[in-house]
Amino acid sequence: VQLLCLAVDSSGEVACAGALEPFEVYVWAVQTGRLLEVLTGHTGPVSSLSFNPASQTLASGSWDKSIRMWDVYASGKAAHVAEEPLIHDSDILALAYRPDGRQLCTSVLSGKLMFWDLNTGNLVQTIEGREDIAGGRKARDFMTAKNNPAGKSFTTLTYSADGRCILAGGESKFVCIYEVKHALLVKKFQLSENRSLDGVLDMLNSK
């Protein structure tokens, strides 16, 4: 089994991992290392997991373009919290809960950020982030791999502490900060000259 993502609940007692294949989520007890449950339902690799900070509901995102909610604390087999998954228009790469647990932000392969009201299950906001993450080019510049927005998307997300902004990074050298309510790009800054945000390597040169 090749795992793609990992999440631990706030108590530190339950750990969950999503697999590339088979398309399942594995739930373990941290203290004993015992496998508690295997969650099935996705029809594609499970790419992202997160626990709701308010209710401890587990959200799983998949390349099958859906988000599913699970109650991993249910007695016996873990139960679906919502029978109907949240359906997207593209593969899901990352997700994050707002600190109050009432909103979920998802990043998809098409470069968009999508915001869901968890009380209603409705999509309440969409941010087109592909142009922002790819950087810009002048009108007469040639199209290159660096400034071409095709294939650019956010692979990591987190809310600000007050829940008003979302920070997003991924397959580029930029981190973008958006104000969620008005879908505004507040700030964009460059972290590296030659590396993507998927990994940062610090090298110490003794010379």
pLDDT digits (tens, 9 = 90+) for 150-200: 557 899 999 999 999 999 998 778 899 999 999 999 999 887 665 555 555
d(CA 181, CA 183): 6
The span from the CA of 185 to the CA of 151, in Å, is 20
Which amino acid makes up residue 174? F
Q: What is the four-CA torsion angle of 151, 155, 160, 165, rounded to 10 degrees?
A: 20
AA identity, residue 186 = V
For residue 79, pLDDT over 80 is answered with no
Predicted pLDDT of residue 132: 85
Give this prediction's pTM: 0.81
16 has pLDDT over 50: yes
Which pLDDT score is estimated for 151?
Answer: 57
